[in-house]
Structure 1
């Protein structure tokens, strides 16, 4: 098992607080697995963000989804806006055009819409009929979704060992999980962004955790540490960025942190290509899962009353958008 830190420029340049952890020894049940658990437990407490290598995700499945989604995004906007706009198909696709979503609103911050577009899929989530082009797009989403489910199972077991729970403690909560797979296209910015507009505004994720396939670009993922500083997240070929999300933080009585993050705009006057495409997998439990403080974190008392995940999402949405 190895632990290192890196930034988009070089794997030798440290980014404090965002470690890179090889989880292969845990997945293969080899010597070094305990060190993996310890390193991840520390990262979950310190920043809630880390990168994993040695994860076993198929590079061929990843490339297929990346390339087919990119082909979709290259089609004309007028056609894309006719796709994925309904909600009558369970396991269908949803398309969100450029600037339709403003993620900072979830924290009560009013901004212009984020400069991105996305395709979204969840096997237990509603969407629309899949487009007839590019050929193979639906299967590419479903294949990659399975790869993420496998990695997510490994990560849940690592978390259980770090907390001191039976390694399958969380598994019943994910039998009919409401996870979502999204491919996001951040186009070239031909014009200056509007005041306050970013590629993705500052936000935290609502669910259990996020597994992100990212790429180096001018204007990338930034993470806010506990001192309020914005750190450029490392971008290492083949690695995945993982972050703790709000529901999991609540499960741990806020001891493991769900950290604000954003996607920055390319620097003013940047001359090269700044197009960026990322693939986040949002791991969410089932609607009826009860989120309550786990026994190892109770100590002086639980901060929150038990709540189902469905009720929790409704509450988070109302809290965010009531601030306008």
Structure 2
């Protein structure tokens, strides 16, 4: 059993104590687990089953919905390269992305595979999960704002500073994603990286993973080594029905907004030796939370942030928008022309 290197924070209560605990993990590791997220084990299992059934469909069908420049659609094996500077080939995984999301309805304004719409229950699972993962990211952002002691302004309370840039009906780069990494047996555990080393592009990322499908690793800049993140089950002494803790990591935008106080940590997915031996596939459910496209990447009005000189937004006078940042990152990932 791999020892868990990450803190586990219960966010069922929004208060200063929870905020301080969350901020400590976000500033030191950039990764943590959160419990008290409201998803039951049954609900998590249902979403994973739906994802698995989609990826079992014929490739000819899935390829009818190719990923586009808005990051929406199906990405086939090798179509995405998260570490283009060090990898010549794309990552050995497939994904289905839902973007252009309205969080009041949980629906995308773009075309999604009709297989998901043929059964009302499939569509309900998708829209309900999208809305709830969005709300979970909002709760985390509020706690981080409290932890950072963001100051009130004329237009918004400090604890709502991030939320004011998250209008649920406006366009954003937020993405809900199904991921499938087929198992691969290999003599060399380092021979194939499932997802190349990268940081995430948005504000905060939420990840559900399953037992015996490990592979996530975070890079320790201090120790100059990769640290595996194990599966952590729910604490049954607190709840007999709760789903497992969600993996949360800080993305580039929160790091940039805060001059690097919040840590966007490099991570990857690889084939652990145990998984290579069994040939086990890996599935994950991910929500990448982004602010509205027009949100400016300006310094957060916090005294903690103001002490940081010449880093992130504190080093700029002409601020770009969240969409401009995302477009730059996606162009590098998929080889698109900007």
- The answer, yes or no, to whether TM exceeds 0.5 is yes
CA distance change for structure 1 residues 318 and 174 in 2, over 3 Å: closer, same or farther?
Answer: same
Note if contact 1:69-1:137 (Cα within 8 Å) is conserved in structure 2: no
The answer to whether residue 163 in structure 2 is matched with residue 171 in structure 1 is: yes
Q: Which moved more, 1:241-250 or 1:186-195?
A: 186-195
Q: 2:135 is matched with which residue?
A: 150
Q: 1:243 matched to which residue of 2?
A: 249
Partner Cα separation in structure 1 for residue 210 and residue 263 of structure 2: 24
Q: Determine if the alignment matches structure 1 residue 232 to structure 2 residue 228.
A: yes
Q: Which of 182, 188, 196 pairs up with 1:201?
A: 196
CA distance in 2, matches of 1:230, 1:86: 30
Inter-CA distance 35–201: structure 2 relative to 1 (3 Å threshold): same
Matched residue SS, 1:25:
coil
Contact 1:218 1:265 in 2 (8 A): no
- Higher RCO, 1 vs 2 (CA within 8 Å, ≥6 residues apart): 2
The answer on 1:275 being equivalent to 2:288 is: no
Shift, 1:80, TM fit: 2.5
Q: Which moved more, 1:248-257 or 1:312-321?
A: 312-321
CA apart distance, 1:79: 3.1
Is 1:86–1:128's contact at 8 Å kept on the other side of the alignment? no
2:123 corresponds to which residue?
138
Query: What's the counterpart of residue 254 of structure 1?
Result: 260
Quote the Cα distance in structure 1 between the aligned partners of 2:290 and 2:148.
19
Counterparts in 2 of 1:217 and 1:126: CA distance versus 1, 3 Å: farther
* Distance of 1:86 and 1:299 partners within structure 2: 41
Q: Kindly tell me the number of residue pairs found equivalent between the two proteins.
A: 299
> Is the Cα contact below 8 Å between 1:111 and 1:197 reproduced in 2?
no
Do residues 55 (structure 1) and 49 (structure 2) align?
Answer: no
- Residues 1:299 and 2:310 are matched in the alignment: no
Per the alignment, in what secondary structure is the counterpart of residue 179 of structure 2? strand
Q: Determine whether 1:162 maps to 2:162.
A: no
1:120 matched residue in structure 2: 97
Q: Return the offset for 1:268.
A: 7.8
Q: Judge conservation of contact 2:253–2:297 (CA < 8 Å) in 1.
A: yes
Please give the alpha-carbon distance, in whole angstroms, between the structure 1 residues aligned to 2:300 and 2:263.
Answer: 15
Of residues 56, 71, 75, the one that matches 1:96 is 75
Cα displacement (A) at 1:139:
3.0
Unaligned stretches of 5+ in structure 2? 103-107, 151-157, 234-243
Distance in 2 of aligned mates of 1:307 and 1:158: 25
Q: Quick one: structure 1 residues 95 and 192, their matched pair in 2 at CA, closer, same or farther if it must change by over 3 Å?
A: farther
Does structure 1 residue 43 correspond to structure 2 residue 25? yes
Question: Which 10-residue stretch deviates more, 159-168 or 294-303?
Answer: 294-303
Q: Is the CA contact (8 Å cut-off) linking 1:65 and 1:137 kept in structure 2?
A: no
Distance 2:97 2:164 in 1: 25
Structure 1 stretch displaced more, 126-135 or 58-67: 126-135
| 235-244 vs 117-126, which moves further | 117-126
The residue number in structure 1 matching 2:155 is none
Deviations 1:41-82 (A, max 9, x none): 111111110000111134444332211111111123333223
RMSD: 2.9
Q: Corresponding residue for 2:217?
A: 222
The CA distance in 2 between the partners of 1:293 and 1:19, in whole Å, is 27
TM-score after normalising by structure 1 = 0.82
Query: Distance in 2 between the 1:130 and 1:275 partners?
Result: 23
Deviation per residue, 1:161-180 (Å, 9 max, x gap): 11102221112211123310
